[in-house]
């Protein structure tokens, strides 16, 4: 990379919390490599994936005289990589970019696959593009400083891969959680590598989500509905995915006739992940409204990824609204009755 960028500029976009921890180290490394750099810090959190921050980045890059020979580097979790990637895709009709991913969720999901974008009031990730990064660096050392809640946030996406992969990965993640050390680097390395390989294999065969890549949306239609109903506050994305996976299991049982016993290993795993998630008040009607807005379709037109059994996902469309409502209600009842501490 250093040879390709000789004579170019690096534009480094940091999560502000990450910069406070690692900014000086990363800055020294880039300076040692002889690369000129400009940098900017953005606030953490889903609210940063907005048109306001997008315009701020455009203005910064243009003021700094960015060219197509330069490179943008995102340093942070999924929010920063989503936003930075979209900036890279659209400024000057496309500038190279890379990711130094510092969160578990970013390393197993957001930084992989080239999906970039921002949120709109009407729904999550409705404005964006596919723009593959030139590199993704996943250093597990960054995870040592993450609070436990952020680790659970990432495990929501790992659980999604486990449901898609089958009982082998479900048992592996279950044993990891039972061991009680969320920062066991050996086990984390195995889970991150499995997750990245699974996603990379699917993305390489279907970059633009025309077919098989849709399977990666397991639990996400429900999760996006939850996030929208909460105004993208109070729950992290991966926490919403944990709950969304429970909703997908309920709908799999109701619509496909999947056996609850067959899905119990995954359900039990999700119950463990859900325990520390803050208890929030969720309105099933609002969740369903945001599920519809997410793709601008009626409930009956939404695509869902369901499980006939662990490791046997299927894409389904045209589900009766009553089945969706019942599944959302069951999901909400669980977090209301069994959720963790109040947010």
Return the active site residues. 93, 115, 157, 199, 209, 213, 217, 220, 224, 237
What are 120's strand-pairing partners? Answer: 123
Q: Which two tokens stand for residue 188?
A: 């984390």
CA dihedral 22, 24, 27, 31 (to 10 degrees): -140
Asked if 219 and 248 count as a contact pair (C-beta separation under 8 A), the reply is: yes
Stated as kind and residue range, the H or E segment containing 111 is: none
Which two tokens mark 169?
Answer: 């990965």
Cα–Cα distance for residue pair 214/184, rounded to 1 Å = 31
Instruction: Give the 3-state secondary structure of 264-277.
Output: HHHHHHHHHHHCCC
Q: Are the CB atoms for 73 and 18 separated by under 8 Å?
A: no
**What is the C-alpha separation between 134 and 50, in angstroms, rounded?**
24
Which region holds residue 282: left if phi is over 0, alpha if psi is between -120 and 50, else beta? beta
Residues 6 or more apart whose CB falls under 8 angstroms from that of 26 comprise 12, 75, 100
Residue 236 DSSP class: -
> Which regions of 115-248 does DSSP assign to beta strands (E)?
115-120, 123-130, 135-138
**DSSP state at residue 278:** P
Q: How far apart are CA 248 and CA 255, in angstroms?
A: 10
CB 140 within 8 A of CB 185: yes
Strand locations in 121-264 (E): 123-130, 135-138
């Amino acid at each position: 990379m250093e040879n390709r960028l000789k004579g170019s500029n690096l534009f480094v976009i940091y999560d502000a919390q990450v910069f406070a921890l690692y900014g000086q180290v990363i800055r020294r490394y880039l300076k040692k490599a002889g690369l000129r750099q400009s940098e900017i810090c953005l606030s953490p959190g889903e609210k940063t994936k907005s048109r306001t921050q997008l315009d701020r980045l455009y203005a910064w890059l243009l003021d700094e005289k960015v060219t197509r020979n330069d490179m943008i580097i995102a340093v942070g979790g999924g929010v920063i990589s989503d936003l930075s990637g979209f900036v890279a895709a659209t400024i000057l009709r496309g500038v190279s970019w890379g990711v130094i991913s510092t969160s578990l969720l970013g390393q197993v999901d957001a930084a992989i696959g080239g999906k970039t974008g921002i949120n709109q009031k009407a729904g999550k990730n409705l404005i964006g593009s596919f723009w593959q990064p030139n590199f993704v660096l996943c250093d597990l050392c960054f995870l040592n400083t993450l609070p436990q809640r952020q680790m659970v946030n990432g495990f929501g996406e790992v659980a999604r891969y486990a449901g898609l992969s089958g009982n082998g990965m479900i048992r592996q993640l279950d044993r990891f959680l039972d061991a009680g050390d969320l920062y066991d680097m050996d086990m984390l390395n195995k889970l991150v590598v499995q997750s990245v390989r699974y996603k990379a294999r699917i993305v390489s065969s279907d970059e633009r989500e025309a077919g098989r890549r849709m399977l990666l949306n397991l639990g996400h239609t429900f999760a996006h509905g939850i996030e929208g109903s909460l105004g993208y506050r109070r729950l992290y994305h991966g926490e919403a995915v944990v709950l969304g996976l429970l909703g997908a299991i309920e709908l799999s049982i109701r619509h496909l006739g999947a056996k609850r016993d067959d899905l119990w290993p995954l359900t039990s795993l999700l119950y463990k992940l859900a325990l520390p998630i803050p208890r929030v008040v969720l309105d099933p009607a609002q969740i369903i409204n945001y599920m519809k807005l997410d793709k601008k379709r009626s409930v009956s037109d939404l695509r869902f990824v369901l499980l006939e059994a662990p490791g046997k996902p299927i894409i389904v469309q045209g589900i009766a609204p009553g089945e969706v409502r019942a599944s959302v209600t069951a999901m909400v009842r669980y977090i209301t009755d069994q959720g963790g501490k109040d947010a």
